[in-house]
Amino acid sequence: MFSKILIANRGEVAVRIIKTARRMGIATVVVYSEADADSLAVEMADQTVAIGPAPAAESYLVAEKIIAAAEATHAQAIHPGFGFLSENAGFARACAAAGIVFIGPNPDAIDAMGDKIASKRFATAAGVSVVPGHVGEIADGAQAAKVSHEIGYPVMIKASAGGGGKGIRVAWNDRDVEEGFAAVRAEAKAAFGDDRIFIEKFIESPRHVEIQVLGDAHGHVVHLFERECSIQRRNQKVIEEAPSPLLDAETRAAMGAQAVALAKAVNYNSAGTVEFVAGQDQSFYFLEMNTRLQVEHPVTELVTGIDLVEQMIRVAAGEPLGFTQDDLAIKGWAIESRVYAEDPLRRFLPSIGRLVRYEAPVEGDAGGYIVRNDAGVREGDEISMFYDPMIAKLSTWAETRLEAIDGMGRALEDFHIEGPSQNLAFLAAVMDQDRYRSGVISTNYIPDEFPEGFHWVAPTHFQADLMTAAGAYMHRLLAARARRQGNGLAGPLTRTEWVVAIDKAKRPVVLADIEDGLVVTLPDEDRALTLTDVDWRPGRSLFRGQLDGRAFTATIEQADEGFIIRHRAARARVLVLTPLSAAMHERLPEKVKADTSKLVVSPMPGLVVTMEAVAGQTVREGEVVCIIEAMKMQNIIRAEREGVVKAVNATAGDSVAADDVLVEFA
């Protein structure tokens, strides 16, 4: 067994590998860019080596720097994590030439299966059912359009070396191909250093189901069942689970057998994933093979009890697998939610910034479900524009799927982040949706269910009760504190009759204090709410308690007047008013929103790649105004109206913030 390994990655996967290495008694070396100098992975590692500036092309993608770091620190092996050089056969060969073990599959397997074009040729020759498409590189936009017509729209334009949702576009017509081909090629070159492109048929309403395989150097290959990864946005996974609610035992066995046969054909000797596109009728087609550890591997670990990182290390050290296919079984159900620095209210556009508050759920047994949180950040860390916007991967396990989903909903309540925008409320919305809970999902789920992007949902009856009780409790606590401090504006603490306003809806209430909470009587509804076990004090952002015996956690912001209370995907302003004040509020005029129709603003922080608009130019609705790059993704900004350009406020190469005005119309 190795005594020291180098981790050629960053963020949560570096932390994840360190944890397993520590348990195995293996020392770790972490390489880091200038942007990651103060990261959690750097803090946790036994040794660290700086490898260059923030851009990955100057640090994490430079094989020579990483091998030099391994040699300098006498690391015997390198674990590449996922992304960066993890599927680079040249890097694996360079490691071998330097006498360093690559903790991953052999380079020939990477060549055969890691390259998306080669893998399809190989799979076709092996008799594996593949998605119809053009197996071969696409030279230019003209050929891309010709191939797309031959296959038939819609088609998917994909980077050969792609992964993680990067370098991929769906095209429905010639215009999409023209714009998408150039964008995919640019993304592929920037993210992977390889701009080769291929095109395949896009199957509508598909499901993304993948099989985890594991092989050793002694000819043994097993599969660890499947993961359902259909909840995606911009072709990047957001929520995964194991097993899949689609498959029955027969289909699971058939899909697993095909994945194992494919892996054996290339003498696969590490952890890898064979991805399939599946129909709702359980038909399936080989999509590609990822010759590395997958981001979503925790759900497989939770239902099988196998530590995949440990197995990768053991296999790389020459050990045979310590189990056979018959030893493996699925136990329970696991859900993973990717917590991203992105703004769901702006169609999930990336966000950056410092984690002013970062409070994750407590890991371990939470009573009926288990919580696991894979993260590479701490409070005070910064989410950089140079890398993937993931903050953490939150996973829950329970005996059944619905119990795991319910556990995820509660865990998301207990997750609190301030600083960059994040998708916690959106993830909670999915957990509460009937369609997701039914298991009848597809990769179109987010476009189908959130066609205009995510917006706050209306509070349920329980959430309205929760907001009423929590708002009343906080109001009385703050009033009592103000009274103790001699503030004459505190008002009479003895008043019991109030009106709670949740946005525009008003509810008369009668309040009565109890030892650890509050009883809220709703006279118009002839019932009462009992709030107990309250854990909140002024200044805290999380309000925990039990409402009529049901535990909850809500997020609190103090507004100029009242509170902003969020519970899962519902958010409202809550005021506690006297009856007279409530009547006066009815007469207040509503604010008129500013007219921004003549402005094109940046929807995210990023770098202006191109600026197409010119002052004096007439721009038609839908025309490209500029392209902004953020988190390794190129985002096309279009004009939402026709007009004459009055001013252009940014040029190619400029860094812009969210809401910066890029173009003004006359």
Provide the 3-class DSSP secondary structure of residue 398.
strand
For 400, counting Cβ atoms within 10 Å of its Cβ (0-12 exposed, 13-18 middle, 19+ buried), the class is exposed
Residue 530 to residues 290, 430, 498, 523, 548, Cα–Cα distance (Å): 52, 28, 16, 14, 5
Same domain, 270 and 127: yes
Read off the DSSP letter of residue 486.
Answer: T
CA distance 422 to 383: 11
Residue 95: give its domain's CATH number. 3.40.50.20
Read off the DSSP letter of residue 34.
Answer: G
Query: What tokens were used for 565?
Result: 């209370």
CA angle 29, 34, 40 (to 5 degrees): 50
Residue 197 located in a structural domain = yes
CA distance 390 to 338: 7
CA angle 212, 316, 306 (to 5 degrees): 40
**Would you tell me the crossing angle of helices 424-432 and 401-413 to the nearest 10 degrees?**
150
The 10s digit of each residue's pLDDT in 243-279 is 999 999 999 999 999 999 999 989 999 999 999 999 8
Domain final position from 331, 366, 388: 331
Residue 560: give its domain's CATH number. 3.30.700.30
Q: Is the pLDDT of residue 488 over 70?
A: no
Same domain, 436 and 542: no
Residue 594 located in a structural domain = no
Q: Indicate which residues carry an active-site annotation.
A: 288
Same domain, 295 and 353: no
Same domain, 123 and 231: yes
Residue 158 located in a structural domain = yes
Same domain, 465 and 572: yes
Q: What is the pLDDT of residue 164?
A: 64
For 84, counting Cβ atoms within 10 Å of its Cβ (0-12 exposed, 13-18 middle, 19+ buried), the class is buried
Residue 348: give its domain's CATH number. 3.30.470.20
What is the average pLDDT across 605-622?
89
CA distance 280 to 245: 11
Same domain, 391 and 523: no
CA distance 68 to 54: 18
Start-to-end CA distance of the chain, whole Å, equals: 69
Residue 139 located in a structural domain = yes
Q: Is the pLDDT of residue 487 over 60?
A: no
Instruction: Look at strands 497-502 and 416-418 and give their pairing.
Output: unpaired
| Matching residue, tokens 């100057």 | 58
Q: Which of 52-61, 549-558, 597-606 has the lowest mean pLDDT?
A: 597-606
Provide the 3-class DSSP secondary structure of residue 83.
coil
* Spatial contact of 334 and 298, defined as CB atoms under 8 Å apart: yes
Sign of CA dihedral 427, 433, 435, 436: positive
The closest of 129, 139, 134, 159 to 149, measured between CA atoms, is 134
The 10s digit of each residue's pLDDT in 299-335 is 999 999 999 999 999 999 999 999 999 999 999 999 9
Domain final position from 166, 201, 236: 201
- Of the chain, the percentage scoring pLDDT greater than 90 comes to 71
Q: What is the pLDDT of residue 592?
A: 67
Residue 29 located in a structural domain = yes
Query: What tokens were used for 292?
Result: 């590395």
Residue 5 to residues 66, 72, 75, 127, 436, Cα–Cα distance (Å): 12, 12, 5, 39, 41
Residue 633: give its domain's CATH number. 2.40.50.100
CA distance 129 to 208: 15
Residue 468 located in a structural domain = yes
| Helix, strand, coil fractions of the chain, as percent rounded to 5 | 30, 35, 35
Residue 292 located in a structural domain = yes
* Residue 114 banded pLDDT, cuts 50, 70, 90: confident
Same domain, 126 and 262: yes
Same domain, 390 and 326: no
Same domain, 349 and 292: no
Same domain, 367 and 293: no
Same domain, 127 and 257: yes
What is the average pLDDT across 63-88?
97
Q: What is the pLDDT of residue 505?
A: 92
Q: Identify the domain containing residue 173 by its residue range.
A: 132-201
Same domain, 530 and 653: no
Residue 187 located in a structural domain = yes
Domain final position from 145, 178, 201: 201
Read off the DSSP letter of residue 114.
Answer: I
* Residue 494 banded pLDDT, cuts 50, 70, 90: low
Other beta carbons within 10 Å of 204: 11
Q: Domain total for the chain?
A: 6
The 10s digit of each residue's pLDDT in 369-416 is 999 999 999 999 999 888 888 999 999 999 999 999 999 999 999 999
